[in-house]
Amino acid sequence: MSSAPDVFATNDIPDSDSSKSSIPFPANVIQLNNGLTVIHQEITTTPVVVVDVWIKAGARYEPKTWAGMAHFLEHMVFKGTEQILPGMFDAAIESRGGLTNAATSHDYAHFYMTVAADDLAEALPYLAELLLHAAIPADEFVRERHVVIEEIHQSWDDPDWLGFQTLSEMIYADHPYGRSVLGSPEILQERSPEEMRKFHRAYYQPENMQVVITGGVSQERVLKLVQATFRSFAKQELCPTADLISSPRILTSLNHSLALPRLEHGRLLMAWLAPGIDDLKAACGVDILATVLAEGRISRLVRELREERQWVDEIASSLSVQKDCSLFVLSAWLAPHHIKEVEQVICDRIAALAAVPISDQELARAQRVLCNDYAFSMETPGQLAGLYGYYGTLATPELALAYPDYVRAYSAEQLMPLAQQYLSPAHCGTLTLTPA
């Protein structure tokens, strides 16, 4: 290795309005000459190091005929390389008391491990070798495909998974976000090890990858280790790509119902499309509205529908921020005979958000809840690594710190146009689950 530093720039991220924060970004962002991004934050108070490698290789990059490939590849990465036999990586990490896992979404795949700082030099080469040179042997491919297909079958037995997936298909239509990350047994049976190798060599490349390292290790040591281990990437190949589809729009209200056997409680799911990561400020505003509606016992819908009228067993809100567009969902668990009246109450209360400003007390509570939740998500090296990697993959790492500033900046009057634009009953997808 050359003695010259293999570094292009440090903290070389555009200072745009979308990435500004009231506090300095505590991590260092380094781009290597090969295009790989390294994000590092030293935490001297812990002897632990977290490595979290994020790759722009999620399900949104698959063509329809390869649905499930990204998630299946996540499994196959751990099956070794020409240098690392199956099981060697797990044994190497576990023998050192470390932990490792991986996850795949529509926008990314990421692989992470936690080890003692003193073990990083021995552990990191294993992870890098797997990610850069996954062999995808044919015999392991066939065996692991059975595992993935069984995972799909198990998901079909989960009414909440079925409900969310059906809702996603309704909302997103032909957009990749509407497809299950798991894929389908029929499509996976048609795929080959060589096709997966092409997908791996196409997307597991340095320009698509961020190596996030947090914990008790210096930047100098991190750079030396990453430069030594994340160097020899496979030659990039082309593979079939996902169709370029514009962000989905709900032009009319959509309604669907499912009757499921062995369902103990009915479900009511109502969903709206929300801004994606490129308009995080607006997404934060929708998050405030979601908190006002159904976060905590004194939120509007929880208080009225669960505490006072007792029409629902539970009701909750969620906002999943994604690259192209986000999804705001209200979920209620209830007796089927209450579904229609609960749906009407929800529509009425959402209409009120668009017509009348929320109170100063409600706004202050929602801002406090969201900012506290954000603070709680930054307590450990693993949480920090996940936060930086997520925002770095979808936008820029610095954007990870913008969330509380955006939340605190809203007034009650500024939230009304967001409710009008994004939470209209005319642009809602509604799904009901009832016992068969």
Amino acid 245 reads: I
Tokens standing for 417?
């146009």
**Domain 7-229, CATH number (from 3.40.50.720, 3.30.830.10, 3.40.50.1010, 3.40.50.1820):** 3.30.830.10
pLDDT-based confidence at residue 252 (cuts at 50, 70, 90) = confident
Side-chain half-sphere of 419: how many Cα atoms within 13 Å?
23
pLDDT-based confidence at residue 13 (cuts at 50, 70, 90) = very low
Given a cut of 90, is residue 249 above it in pLDDT?
no
Q: What is the pLDDT of residues 99-146, one digit of tens each?
A: 999 999 999 999 999 999 999 999 999 999 999 999 999 999 999 999
Q: What is the mean pLDDT of residues 154-171?
A: 95
Tokens standing for 154?
């198990």
Domains 7-229 and 254-435 share a fold: yes
Nearest of 121, 116, 229, 106 to residue 171 by alpha carbon:
106
For the chain, the three-class secondary structure string (H helix, E strand, C coil) is CCCCCCEEEECCCCCCHHHCCCCCCCCEEEEECCCCEEEEEECCCCCEEEEEEEECCCHHHCCHHHCCHHHHHHHHHCCCCCCCCCCHHHHHHHCCCCEEEEEECCCCEEEEEEEEHHHHHHHHHHHHHHHHHCCCCHHHHHHHHHHHHHHHHHHHCCHHHHHHHHHHHHHHCCCHHHCCCCCCHHHHHHCCHHHHHHHHHHHCCHHHEEEEEEECCCHHHHHHHHHHHCCCCCCCCCCCCCCCCCCCCCCCCEEEEEEECCCCCEEEEEEEEECCHHHHHHHHHHHHHHHHHHCCCCCHHHHHHHHHCCCEEEEEEEEECCCCCEEEEEEEEECHHHHHHHHHHHHHHHHHHHHCCCCHHHHHHHHHHHHHHHHHCCCCHHHHHHHHHHHHHHCCHHHHHCHHHHHHHCCHHHHHHHHHHHCCHHHCEEEEEEEC
Nearest of 351, 313, 306 to residue 334 by alpha carbon:
313
Please tell me the predicted confidence (pLDDT) of residue 248.
74
Please tell me the predicted confidence (pLDDT) of residue 199.
98
Q: What is the mean pLDDT of residues 23-49?
A: 96
From the number of C-beta atoms within 10 Å of its C-beta (0-12, 13-18, 19+), residue 222 rates as buried
Q: What is the pLDDT of residues 314-326, one digit of tens each?
A: 999 999 999 999 9
Q: What is the mean pLDDT of residues 192-215?
A: 98
Q: What is the mean pLDDT of residues 241-265?
A: 82
Please tell me the predicted confidence (pLDDT) of residue 244.
64
Q: Which residues touch 4 (CB under 8 Å, ≥6 apart)?
A: none
In the chain, where are the structural domains located?
7-229, 254-435
Please tell me the predicted confidence (pLDDT) of residue 110.
97
Report the percent of the chain where pLDDT is more than 70.
94
pTM of this structure: 0.92
Q: What is the mean pLDDT of residues 297-302?
A: 97
Q: What is the mean pLDDT of residues 220-227?
A: 98
Q: What is the pLDDT of residues 260-297, one digit of tens each?
A: 998 989 999 999 999 999 999 999 999 999 999 999 99
Q: How far is CA 220 from CA 5, 161, 306, 389, in A?
A: 10, 44, 55, 20
Given a cut of 90, is residue 30 above it in pLDDT?
yes
What is the rounded CA–CA span in Å between residue 251 and residue 230?
46
End-to-end CA distance of the chain: 65
Tokens standing for 384?
């920090």
Nearest of 327, 288, 273 to residue 415 by alpha carbon:
288
Q: What is the pLDDT of residues 362-417, one digit of tens each?
A: 999 999 999 999 999 999 999 999 999 999 999 999 999 999 999 999 999 999 99
Task: State whether CATH 3.30.830.10 applies to domain 254-435.
Answer: yes
Given a cut of 60, is residue 2 above it in pLDDT?
no
Output the CA angle 156-191-323, nearest 5 degrees: 65
pLDDT, mean over the chain: 93
Q: What is the mean pLDDT of residues 350-357?
A: 96
Q: What is the mean pLDDT of residues 59-67?
A: 95
Given a cut of 70, is residue 4 above it in pLDDT?
no
Please tell me the predicted confidence (pLDDT) of residue 297.
95
